[in-house]
Amino acid sequence: MWVNMAARLLAIGAGWSVVVLTAACGGNPAPAPNPSASAAPSSTAPMKITDPYSPTIDPAAFSATIDNPYLPMVPGTRTIYEAHTPDGLQQTTTEVTRDTKMIMGVKTVVVHDTVSLDAKMVEDTLDWYAQDRDGDVWYFGEATKEFKDDGTVDSTGSFEGGVNGALPGIIMPGHPQVGDQYRQEYAKGVAEDTGEVLNLTGRETTALTGPLSDLLVTKDVDLLDPTAPAENKYYARSIGVILTTEAGGRDEAVKVEKF
């Protein structure tokens, strides 16, 4: 579950460095599409959420190499985001680790998110991702810890695909088009975020990138919290998420580095 505006910025804005271009433009040929775990190509109708939700997860259709142009994840890349909130400066550090985790027979990439408020850590999360043959990036779950002021630790929102009925969802379609709607995660009563593609020609400016156009803009909604404002995320090709907005707040990528 995407607990707050910064904690789930998946950008992993690796595309800002040469390492991303290497991953996205490598010599391996693109694998053939697989109809069992796919996003619809742009010539078809937009993706829609259907119930009951029962995606087909064929491990042979997935890879831990994530090179979707809107959400590249290159191991050894660290992206830092900042948001000025009423409670202070919120900083999120997102690291694409070199670790992997097997979930439902699929090798997933481990991404480490930490969130701090005025330099005090408030959240520590491991997320798990994989990409299918059609380029869809799937979210297989998370192990999250939120550190409360009273010293307690809250793991609400943690789930793992294949455990207790939880299922992975699509974070980024391989062939996004306006009107696409998709489940990003599904653990009934625990994690039920959805996404929708709003625009493929968005324009924004961040401190890291300067002005950019042709941005993919999405709307993320937490179905378990109808009162929570929706998040809009702005994705740049070969970079990933550069900005998240929520109820007037802005969470911007400010730095990308290797580790």
User: pLDDT digit string (tens) for 147-171?
Assistant: 999 999 999 999 999 999 999 999 9
Q: How far is CA 9 from CA 102, 163, 164, in A?
A: 23, 24, 26
Weakest mean pLDDT among 12-21, 122-131, 154-163, 199-208: 12-21
- In Å, how far from its chain's centre is CA 102? 18
Distance CA 231, CA 196 (A): 10
Q: What is the DSSP letter of 73?
A: B
pTM of this prediction? Answer: 0.84
Distance CA 230, CA 183 (A): 15
Residue 30: pLDDT band with limits 50, 70, 90: very low
Strands (E), the chain: 62-63, 77-85, 88-103, 106-117, 120-132, 137-147, 153-154, 159-160, 167-172, 181-183, 185-186, 193-206, 210-222, 231-236, 240-246, 249-258
Question: CATH fold of 14-258, please?
Answer: YmcC-like fold (2.40.360)
Distance CA 178, CA 21 (A): 26
Q: Which amino acid is at 87?
A: D
Report which of residues 191 and 12 the model is more confident about. Answer: 191
User: pLDDT digit string (tens) for 48-105?
Assistant: 999 999 999 999 999 999 999 999 999 999 999 999 999 999 999 999 999 999 999 9
Distance CA 157, CA 173 (A): 23
Q: Please, what is the Cα angle at 238 between 29 and 198, to 5 degrees?
A: 110
The structure tokens listed for 75 are 């191991």
Distance CA 140, CA 235 (A): 21
Distance CA 255, CA 92 (A): 11
In 3D, which of 127, 161, 101 has the Cα closest to residue 3? Answer: 127
The structure tokens listed for 245 are 């907005």
Write down the pLDDT at residue 43.
Answer: 62
Contact 113/94 with Cβ under 8 angstroms? Answer: yes
Write down the pLDDT at residue 42.
Answer: 54
Backbone angles phi, psi at 68, to 5 degrees: -55, 125
Report which of residues 16 and 161 the model is more confident about. Answer: 161
Distance CA 112, CA 209 (A): 23
